[in-house]
Amino acid sequence: GAILKQATDNRDSISAVNLDEEAAKLIQFEQYYQASAQIIQVARNLFDTLINTF
């Protein structure tokens, strides 16, 4: 039983997903997405302003 637990722990430490790391990545990608959306909004407003000028 102890050997099985040790083997399982060793396997999990190598192949397991770190939930904290994944959550941090999700937050980072969310921030990238929001920044991209703001850039698109600014570009859209600039384009609309240029079109309405003519």
Place of tokens 């980072």: 28
Tell me 17's DSSP state. Answer: -
Parse the chain into domains and list their residue ranges: 18-54
Question: Could you give the CA distance from residue 8 to residue 14 in angstroms, rounded to a whole number?
Answer: 10
Average pLDDT per consecutive 10 residues, the chain (54 residues; last block may be shorter) = 90 81 96 98 97 91
pLDDT at 11: 85
pLDDT at 18: 81
